[in-house]
Amino acid sequence: MASTKKRLKGSRPYQPNLAAHTADQVADWFLARLDTNAGDTISPLKLQKLVYYAQAWHLVVFNQLLFSEPIQAWVHGPVVPSLYQRFKDNCRDCLIGINTNGLEKTNFSTETEDLLNEVYSIYGEHSASYLEELTHREMPWIMARKGLPLYQRSEEVITVESMIDYYKALKNGKKHKSILSPTRFNIDFELSRNP
């Protein structure tokens, strides 16, 4: 199947079928960053949100998919269904048992690794429930749900275009102001208000 090229507003051609990694590889990167000896833990819900934000910001900064799996607008926020399947034996707020020997080691580019570190340092300090509430206030999830009640099940895909439009506007300061100083990628995160 030939890949089609789309031109997004003000960007170079975007190629939706050219993702260098998988959602599992991105999740493993975040899991490998946990210092379990120091008591670091993560729930499947929080991991899903970190993977979502990694995809969104990778799209904005590099105009490329980080991974090709779809992200759906579920009740508790954005979810990559393949990651859900991987961790479904854990309740959404339970902790994932980390065995770093079983994690896939992926060689990300230096730029992508820097972006993942930035996403982790900014979003990783927040609780799963905070990140869930944050995604519930953001347009990509809201638009994908198309007015569904909060607790109604949905498998609607959060579009790449909606993520690019929304987070690019945040990055360019056209939406909410951030209390955080500019980062290496000039990412402007809206984390200043409690959900």
Question: Which candidate, 47, 37, 21, 173, places its Cα nearest to that of 108?
Answer: 21
- pTM of the shown model: 0.80
Domain map (residue ranges) of the chain: 16-171
Question: Which candidate, 5, 164, 1, places its Cα nearest to that of 71?
Answer: 164
pLDDT band at 37 (very low <50, low <70, confident <90, very high): confident
Instruction: Give the separation between CA 132 and CA 124, rounded to whole angstroms.
Output: 12
Give every CB contact of residue 76 below 8 A, 6+ residues apart in sequence.
Answer: 45, 92, 132
Mean pLDDT across the chain? 81
